[in-house]
A and B are shown apart, each in its own frame.
Chain A
Amino acid sequence: MPIESTAEQPRVFSLSERLYPWVASTDHKRLGIMYVIAALLFLVVAGAQALLMRTQLAVPMNHVVSPAMYNRLFTMHGTTMVFLVGMPLLAGFTNYLVPLMLGARDMAFPRLNAFGFWAFLFGGLLLYYGYLGGGGLYGSGSAPDVGWFAYAPLTERAFSRGSSTDYWILGVMLTGFGSLASAINVIATTLSLRCPGMNLSRMPLFVWLMLIDSWLILIALPPLNAAQIMLLLDRRFGAHFFDTQAGGSALLWQHFFWIFGHPEVYILIFPAFGIVSEVVPVFSRKPIFGRQAMVAAVVAIGFISTSVWAHHMFTVGMTSISNAFFAASTMLVAIPTGIKIFNWLATMYGGKILLEVPMLFCCAFIFHFLIAGLTGVMLAVAPFDWQLHDSYFVIGHFHFTLIGGFVFGMFAGIYYWFPKATGRMWNGKLAKLHFWLFVIGFDLTFVPMHFLGFLGMPRRIYTYAPGRGWELLNFIETVGAYVQAIAIACFVINTIHSIRKGRRAGGDPWDAWTLEWSTASPPPEYNFEVIPVVRSSRPLWDLKHPQDPDWKYE
């Protein structure tokens, strides 16, 4: 640290002196770290909400929370996990890594970047302010309780008194503006700030994924904002967009929401794809298998993902042609996704696999995400969906994609780049404990959900009567939820401990190949002393092996 070396005697910094460089920062690395920390804090909050729900459902006819509070819990849990954990985590990784991987000194628009972060953070606080101010002038209602997809007409004034739904609209809309700012920034950075020689064909896969991801954000988030503006007009100005009594349509909200909502799940999974595509090659000691196919697959997923939204709506009674179209387009996603999974496996095949913790999370990712994809194909079959829609099978399915897919990928990324961001190595034993407890807890919680769905348990019920055969599975799920909580505690302890006491990691602890490992850990504010020039997709390999560089073969 420059401060320690230049100051003659150690000086105590006041809190505001220590906070100022963070609050006023436009540095992509600081913003990235702030995004990740804020997201992890919201993860703990939303995780606690999930624990409360699981505690309530542990045994039949339980009375831990009231029905109204349960509604608020699942609404806030879902909204938080998607908009305040998922989106900022991906924004954090992107902010931190994209300039470093491209050999740039910062993002294209540093101030816009800071705006994006603060818009997200205050959007999140506005959403949570609902717990205090949600009653509004009516004095009825608390936090939002309309579910994370806020179906009309329950969100109309007649059914949602007070201001809770308005806080949902405004809070989420503000985080959406932040995501849009961040997406525009990533696209401009990727296209304009690549270091000399960094063609699109040499760009790291993570950056490729985030480029397509930002494109999806660009076309998927405005529809949500449009629908939310309409809803706000309905609630505050007496408009009738979703007001069924005056000719409005509740169905239109569903379409508008899922036109955003389905691309959103790909927006969340792409960064995980990107991280796995970076981690698996390094820990298999092989270049990624089928680079071009990987890029083509993600572009294909990006395209298809904009035309699958109504598979969330098979049960609302669309025409059979619509059902057939959306079933077919949804199944089509399985093809490029399958290409990606096979390419990761082919990268591992014949490699010298190092089972470090990031790689363990990647293996867990591939396994669980495959299952999530398979149940997704099952749900794409419209008649199957008629049977299991809004049951715990769906809950099991999407938690497999979002935890087994997204969160496992994020943890792989956190463990992989933690030494880069902090300059310290984490504790291996605690990290392995975190991994095993988390995976076991995850499977205990979410595998039984599929079977509960088959047994007819609907989602979003606050309790259930005994004697339906749901007791044992529900109890196992709750046990699993607590095991996951212990795992997260291991992670938090490990992080806090390792930031202070972990051993020095050095610039390149994993012997990796992308540009971020060519600079110091943590990187200086200017990232690279000399802007690098690259000639292959593994520039650091070329540097380490001048006798056998990649560019001879690419």
Chain B
Amino acid sequence: MSTAAVPVPEDWHPPDRGVVGIASFIVAEAALFLMFLIGYLFYLGKSLNRPYPAQVLKTPVFITICLLSSSATIVLAERALRRDAVRRFLLWLGATILLALIFLAGTGLEWRELIVDDHLTIATNVFGTTFYSLVGLHATHVTIGLIFMLIVMIASLTGFPVQTQERRIRFLSWYWHFVDVVWVFVFLVVYVIGR
């Protein structure tokens, strides 16, 4: 107990609290999404009136490619930051932000078409209910990630020494990967299984 009697163990390296914290947060988020995915699967084919998924949903290939490749660009941004190449970091971060914006714009256009042309709202049937809540929950998470990336971008452009925050950028990138992985499941459930 006292330091005199017992030497400090040399190899005492408990894990980084930030790593544990962000991992725990992602577990909780995964549980949240799981319930919405279960809800979507549970209500497949239970809509009492039109439109049904097969009639109105188109596979969003382009924005999916955009979102998934944004995982690659943020890794490149992280790598640039680790080498203190701030300009290159900002470039890749900007690319990530752009891809996220394209994704959100694509979702917006998809929703516009569904609402205006196909008359599908959250109140139309249980397909509308589960579709807008699941995709909307995911889009909310994309938006939150986007806001964080914009904060990093603006702070660095106005002179904040972003290279000191390598660890926090890593956590932001983990969150972003998580959002992308969730999209893989949403994509599979909504656009592949659900049609």
Give the nearest-CB partner of A191 in chain B. Answer: B20
Q: Given known contacts A223-B31, A256-B35, A535-B6, is B12 in contact with A247 (CB within 8 Å)?
A: no
Q: A533 near B3 (CB under 8 angstroms)? A: yes
Q: Contact check: which of B17, B35, B36, B130 meets A188 at CB < 8 Å? A: B17
Q: A197 near B129 (CB under 8 angstroms)? A: no
- Chain A residues near B12 (CB-CB < 8 A): 196-197
Q: A241 near B20 (CB under 8 angstroms)? A: no
- Chain A residues near B46 (CB-CB < 8 A): 247, 249
Interface flag for A108 (CB, 8 Å): yes
Interface flag for A205 (CB, 8 Å): no
- Chain B residues near A218 (CB-CB < 8 A): 24, 27-28, 31
Q: Given known contacts A229-B133, A238-B122, A246-B125, is B35 in contact with A180 (CB within 8 Å)?
A: no
Q: Contact check: which of B6, B15, B123, B130 meets A192 at CB < 8 Å? A: B15
Q: A539 near B1 (CB under 8 angstroms)? A: yes
Highest count of chain A CB atoms <10 Å: which of B29, B32, B48: B32
Highest count of chain A CB atoms <10 Å: which of B16, B27, B29: B27
Interface flag for B9 (CB, 8 Å): yes
Q: Contact check: which of A219, A237, A241, A543 meets B2 at CB < 8 Å? A: A543
Give the nearest-CB partner of A532 in chain B. Answer: B1
Interface flag for B192 (CB, 8 Å): no
Interface flag for B5 (CB, 8 Å): yes
Interface flag for A221 (CB, 8 Å): yes
Q: A108 near B8 (CB under 8 angstroms)? A: no
- Chain B residues near A225 (CB-CB < 8 A): 32
Interface of A is mostly: helix
Q: A184 near B35 (CB under 8 angstroms)? A: no
Q: Contact check: which of B25, B31, B36, B47 meets A219 at CB < 8 Å? A: B31
- Chain B residues near A180 (CB-CB < 8 A): 28
Cα-based distance from A221 to B25 in the complex (angstroms): 12
Give the nearest-CB partner of B29 in chain A. Answer: A222
Q: A233 near B129 (CB under 8 angstroms)? A: yes
Interface flag for B126 (CB, 8 Å): yes
- Chain A residues near B47 (CB-CB < 8 A): 247
- Chain B residues near A194 (CB-CB < 8 A): 14
Interface digits, A52-85 against B, CB 8 Å rule (1 contact, 0 not)? 0000000000000000000000000000000000
Cα-based distance from A194 to B15 in the complex (angstroms): 10
Interface flag for A287 (CB, 8 Å): no
Q: Contact check: which of A183, A193, A214, A533 meets B8 at CB < 8 Å? A: A533
A247 CB, min distance to chain B CBs, angstroms: 4
A454 CB, min distance to chain B CBs, angstroms: 37
Give the nearest-CB partner of A194 in chain B. Answer: B14
Q: Contact check: which of A192, A230, A249, A540 meets B1 at CB < 8 Å? A: A540
Interface digits, B64-100 against A, CB 8 Å rule (1 contact, 0 not)? 0000000000000000000000000000000000000
Q: B129 near A184 (CB under 8 angstroms)? A: no
Q: Contact check: which of A191, A227, A534 meets B35 at CB < 8 Å? A: A227
Q: Contact check: which of A187, A197, A239 meets B9 at CB < 8 Å? A: A197
Q: A222 near B35 (CB under 8 angstroms)? A: yes
Q: A219 near B125 (CB under 8 angstroms)? A: no
Cα-based distance from A256 to B12 in the complex (angstroms): 42
Cα-based distance from A363 to B121 in the complex (angstroms): 58
Interface size on A, residues (CB 8 A): 52
- Chain B residues near A112 (CB-CB < 8 A): 21
- Scan residues 200-231 of chain A and give those whose CB is less than 8 A from a CB of chain B: 214, 218-223, 225-227, 229-230
Highest count of chain B CB atoms <10 Å: which of A227, A256, A533: A533
Q: Contact check: which of A240, A534, A539 meets B125 at CB < 8 Å? A: A240
Q: A109 near B122 (CB under 8 angstroms)? A: no
- Scan residues 122-166 of chain B and give those whose CB is less than 8 A from a CB of chain A: 122-123, 125-126, 128-130, 132-133, 137
Give the nearest-CB partner of A181 in chain B. Answer: B25
Interface flag for B42 (CB, 8 Å): yes
- Chain A residues near B132 (CB-CB < 8 A): 239
- Chain A residues near B8 (CB-CB < 8 A): 196-197, 533
Interface flag for B185 (CB, 8 Å): no
Interface flag for B51 (CB, 8 Å): no
Q: Contact check: which of B17, B29, B36, B126 meets A193 at CB < 8 Å? A: B17
- Chain B residues near A542 (CB-CB < 8 A): 1
Interface flag for A189 (CB, 8 Å): yes
- Chain A residues near B35 (CB-CB < 8 A): 222-223, 226-227, 256, 259
Cα-based distance from A249 to B44 in the complex (angstroms): 12
Interface flag for A351 (CB, 8 Å): no
- Chain B residues near A192 (CB-CB < 8 A): 14-17, 20
Q: A193 near B14 (CB under 8 angstroms)? A: yes
Q: A247 near B21 (CB under 8 angstroms)? A: no
Interface digits, B39-66 against A, CB 8 Å rule (1 contact, 0 not)? 1001100111000000000000000000
- Chain B residues near A223 (CB-CB < 8 A): 31-32, 34-35
Cα-based distance from A386 to B129 in the complex (angstroms): 34
Q: A247 near B125 (CB under 8 angstroms)? A: yes
Q: B133 near A230 (CB under 8 angstroms)? A: yes
Q: A226 near B126 (CB under 8 angstroms)? A: no
Interface flag for A252 (CB, 8 Å): yes
A344 CB, min distance to chain B CBs, angstroms: 27
- Chain A residues near B128 (CB-CB < 8 A): 239
Interface flag for A518 (CB, 8 Å): yes
B168 CB, min distance to chain A CBs, angstroms: 13
Cα-based distance from A515 to B25 in the complex (angstroms): 29
A196 CB, min distance to chain B CBs, angstroms: 4
B107 CB, min distance to chain A CBs, angstroms: 18
Give the nearest-CB partner of A515 in chain B. Answer: B1
Give the nearest-CB partner of A219 in chain B. Answer: B31
B101 CB, min distance to chain A CBs, angstroms: 25
Interface digits, A514-535 against B, CB 8 Å rule (1 contact, 0 not)? 0000100000000000101111
Q: B28 near A246 (CB under 8 angstroms)? A: no
Cα-based distance from A150 to B112 in the complex (angstroms): 35
A362 CB, min distance to chain B CBs, angstroms: 26
A25 CB, min distance to chain B CBs, angstroms: 20
- Scan residues 231-255 of chain A and give those whose CB is less than 8 A from a CB of chain B: 233, 237-241, 246-249, 252
- Scan residues 485-538 of chain A and give those whose CB is less than 8 A from a CB of chain B: 518, 530, 532-535
Q: What 10 pairs across the A-B complex have the smallest Cβ distances?
A: A238-B123, A226-B35, A222-B31, A192-B17, A222-B32, A108-B17, A239-B129, A543-B1, A188-B20, A188-B21
12 contacts between A and B (CB under 8 A): A108-B21, A183-B28, A192-B20, A193-B14, A222-B28, A222-B29, A240-B129, A247-B43, A247-B126, A248-B43, A518-B1, A533-B7
**Inter-chain pairs besides A184-B24, A194-B14, A533-B8, 6 sampled, C-beta below 8 Å:** A196-B8, A218-B27, A218-B31, A219-B28, A233-B129, A533-B7
